[in-house]
Every structure is written in C-alpha cells, then in structure tokens.
Chain A
Amino acid sequence: MGERKYNLTDEEKSKVKSLVSFTSYFLFSCLAIISIVTYIMLWYVPEINTATNDQIVEDKVENGIDLSTGLIADEGYKMVKQQCISCHSSKLIIQNRATKEGWTNIIQWMQETQNLWDLGKNEEIIVNYLAKNYAPDEQGRRKPLENIDWYVLKQ
C-alpha cells in the first residue's frame, strides 16, 4: 500500500478532533449503559435465573445458615439455590420435611405438573441435601404446645 498524505487546515483538524471525542464519548456511554443493564439483569430477571446460572446470589453464611435464602449451608445447598428458588422462594422448601423418597416425589410432581425441568445429575445432589437437612423429626400424634409466649393477662 502506498503512503498518502493529507494536509488539513487547523479548522478541519479541530473538527475531526471534536468528532472523534464525541463519538468515543457516545460509544463509551452506550457501553456503560449496556453493561449496567446486563449487570442488573443477571441478578434479577427470573428467566435468566435458571439452570445455567452458576451462582445467583452471594453465599454469605452465618451460624451454618445461608443468609440470602435461610437454607442450611451443608453440602449441596448451592445447587438448591441454583435450581430451586427461581419460581418460589426458599421458604417453601424450608417449611417442608421429607425422606429421600418424599423429596424425590415432590420433585417429580413439580416436573410432571409445574414446569420444573430435568435436573439430570444434580437431582441426586439436591435430594441428598434435602433428605439430610430437611428430614422428618420423630414426633408423636400431637406435640406439646411450643414457643409459649407468657404474658400477664389483665382482665
């Protein structure tokens, strides 16, 4: 390629300069906006929070409990966070107690009737975690009254 030379006047030079700086400013702004939007979307848009998400929220653990979900931070809980809390909150999981078979049945029921996807190899991790940490407690036909909050009754 041959070398070419242009001779520009000062006025032309300053025009080019301002054009270049405007364009780069514009492109930079667009980029910034796009990345902010993507950043936000990646946290919150529910459709994206599916199986492909490797980590939805920070795993901050205190006293063995994952703070953002209330799940017991035992082996496998991150998988539960990935797969199980996009439709309903973790509260629905935490209130339930079941054996391995029982948890498998709950998952199967959601797959058959509630649009839950195939969990593949992850199912075993999830079921093992749930059956260990959310297992039925031994209890009789009726428990003693619990958490009684005593107060002086003024009649």
Chain B
Amino acid sequence: MIKKDRKGIHELYSIDPIEADKLLWGRETDSSRRGFLKKTALATMGTFLGAEIAFANTMPAGLIPASLISDEPFLIPGKHAGLVILNDKPINAETPPHLLNDIITPADKLFVRNNGLVPENIDVNNWILTIEGESAKEKKTFTLEELKSNFKHYTYQLTLECGGNGRNEFNPPAKGNQWSLGAVGCPEWTGARLKDVLQSIGVKDDAVYIGYYGKDIHLSQNPDKVVISRGVPVKKAMEDESLIAWSMNNEEIPVMNGYPLRLIFGGWPGSTSGKWLHKIVIRNKIHDGPKMEGASYRVPCNFVSPGSEIDNEDMCIIESMPVKSLITYPKSGAVINDGTFLKVNGHAWAGDYKVSEMQISIDFGSTWQKCELKSPKNRHAWQQWNANVNFPKKGYYEVWARATDSNRKSQPMVVPGWNPKGYLNNACHRIAVKVV
C-alpha cells in the first residue's frame, strides 16, 4: 500500500517540478513558466488549498503551494500583503492599524472574517435574492438587475467591525480567532435601502426580526449545513443606512467580503451584515439561525467575574458596538528626536452613536490632551481626529487614544467586562514612541 504521507509531493517536485505540476494539478504553463494555461488546473489547485490563488497569473511553475507544506506567507486574492492572516482555512485576516490610515478604507485593506468557505463559481447573471418568512406579506425573488433597476440607489460610508475585534486581550482567553485591533474598516457602500425592498413586499405588523442566508460553504463540506445566519431587529433593518449592497467604493464588492451582494448594518457586529446574500427572512420572533444562539455574538446581560459559567438565558445579543478609536499614524515603534512635535491621527467610531470627543495621553492616562475631531460623513461613518504631541523629555512613551461618545461613554484603559467569547473589547489603542 502506498504510504499516505506528504513525502510524495516533495519527491515529485524535486525530481521534476514542471512534471509534478502537471501530474498533480493538470497545470501547464507557457514558456514563461508562470501562470496557468488551463483554468481548470488553477481551480483544482485552488480547491485543495481551500482558496483562490493570489497572483495566479504570475505564480511560478513548479512551486509547491506554500500552505500545503507550512504556514509560510499566504496571500489572499485582492488583499494587501500587510494584512495579518489569523487563519488560512477558513480565511480570516486583519489589517494592522497603520494600514487603516485612509479615510475610506480601500478594498485591499478591508479585513476578512469568514466562518466557512468562500463560495465558488459565483454566477452573477443567475444570482437570486429571495425574500420570504412568516412576517412577509408575500414571497418574492429579485435578480441583481431587478434590484438595481427597481430601487433607488444610496451610497453611505459605513463602519464594519467584527464583534470579536480585540478578543486577544481577554483573560481568561476567549475562544475563536484571536483578533487584535484591525478587524474594522469603513468603506463606502452602494445599494438599495433594505427598507425599500422590504416595503415593496410588505412587512406584517407582527414582524420582529430579519435574518439572512448566504452562499458560503460549511467547513464540514456538508452542502445542507448553514454556516451562519444572523440578522437584526426590524427597527434596525428599517434605518435609512441599512443597505442591501452590491458595490463597495464604486467597484464590485471583493469576493472575500461578500461579492456580489451583502447586507450592511453600520455600527453593529459585522456578523449581522450577511455576505453572499441570497435570502432574507422576515421573522415574527428573534431569528434563530446558526450563530444566533448560545454564546455566539452574545455577552452576559449583567457583568460577570472573569471566567464565569453563564447560562444561555443570561446571555444577551450584541446590538450597537461600543465607542472605539485607532491611531493610524504613526505606526507603533516610531523613534523621534527630542524637541520635535509628533503629528498623530486616526479614526473614532461609536456604533449607533456619534463620537463627541477625542483625547490622547502620553503619560499612561494621567493627563489627557484634546484632539481635533471631524464630523462623520454620514451616520455610522468613522470620524477622523488628529493632534500634535510634544514630548517633555527623552524616553519611552506610549500614546493612548480615547474616544467618548454622545452618551458620555468613553473607552476604558484596561480590558472591559469579560465575556466567554471575547467580544466588545474597546480598550484604548496604544502605540509605542521613543524620544532620543
């Protein structure tokens, strides 16, 4: 019997890498020895890697895909190489704060949060959005073209943040991808208002919640298993800025972020904004799809001591995300000369609310300096802030950033209330600065 080990692949590639490409993947390159002559070979290789291959057309021939052998750098199609990959299957990646300096987050710098596998063979011409449910007056389907031609288009800049952003700081540790700071972004989204689409069907008076279904594939490969199906209360669904979006920054939504259609609920956990959207259900009770239940996207209704066991009925669904900010310039680790000013800037956001004040501290929170703060472009857009900092003498400093929202709630300096899945860490962002 053949030994089921990985040695074979190395052997094949060491004997004749070009032949190995052909043998294993049906891959043939032209005389440049880059790219793929046959699309099917690329798909085969992609399927085994569980992802599309970035820069497929320049991928050198005879190269073992890195993720098959080790955790060497792995590039996500359409994404900046500076993103930190937390997981390559399913793909999860965050953007370091210094790459989030743009006011409108570009497509290649928007984080990726997947619970399952990205759908393959997306056929936009036959993409159907179905709307139904016990509180829908009728069941209706729309093609993408119908959505675009039947409803007025709106564009808003909306902040999208993973509920688990900051999870890595909780103690005892919280389960899941260990996001640090960069599972957040604020691109511009274009689509139809969800309320316009819902009202065209008719929402019954007993409607409570809307839920979504997407085309992502469960990790167990079971085609009938739903990966994630969450949603929002009808009140949130009916807001002007709640969109069924088909475009991001005036381009198609990146595949990793939900192409060709997704929901966007600015200021709420990213998991409410379903990707690869193909169905919306109008429910007469709180939607009960996978990841609505248990500890998923819920926190204890009352504060608990770290590490507590909490009954399911004492867990409450996260709605608006808390006030938060990032220092996007300079990158942590800046060394500057004594006597020079340091320009510092970043963004601040506050879920359903507005940021009313922004402060920074260079003395570990003893004193705070007020920053200049801009108004949001629209509701749920992050706001820009900046300050000039003067360091009194040489030494190691940390710049801490603290935003306060329109309810007078500020970011804590330590990690806030512990919860089993490590959501809602909005502790101050800190960067290191050395004055020499």
Contact = CB atoms under 8 A, between A and B. Distances in A.
Interface in A46-76: 46-47, 53-58, 67-68, 70
Given A57-B6, A68-B69, A70-B71, A142 B415 contact: yes
Contact of B5 (A57, A99, A115): A57
Given A92-B177, A96-B176, A145 B90 contact: no
B388 to A, nearest CB: 11
A98 B432 contact: no
B430 A145 contact: yes
A59 B328 CA distance: 42
Contacts of B342: 153, 155
Name B's interface SS: loop
Interface string A22-47: 00000000000001101110111011
Contacts of B222: 115
Contacts of A7: none
Contacts of A87: 219-221
B178 A96 contact: yes
Nearest to A67: B70
Contacts of B88: 89, 91
Interface string B1-41: 01111111100000000000001100000000000000000
Contacts of B24: 40
B69 A151 contact: no
A145 B332 CA distance: 10
A5 interface: no
A68 B9 CA distance: 13
A42 B46 CA distance: 17
Contacts of A36: 23
A9 interface: no
B169 A151 contact: no
Nearest to B87: A91
Contacts of B334: 151, 153
A71 to B, nearest CB: 10
Contact of A153 (B3, B178, B330, B430): B330
A38 B432 CA distance: 54
B8 to A, nearest CB: 7
B178 A55 contact: no
15 contacts: A42-B4, A43-B4, A43-B9, A55-B3, A57-B6, A91-B86, A91-B88, A95-B87, A95-B178, A114-B220, A141-B414, A148-B332, A150-B432, A151-B334, A153-B342
Interface of B: 2-9, 23-24, 48, 67, 69-71, 85-90, 169, 171-173, 175-178, 218-222, 225, 290, 294, 330-336, 340, 342-343, 398, 413-415, 427, 430-432, 434
Given A53-B4, A114-B218, 4 more contacts: A106-B175, A141-B171, A148-B333, A150-B432
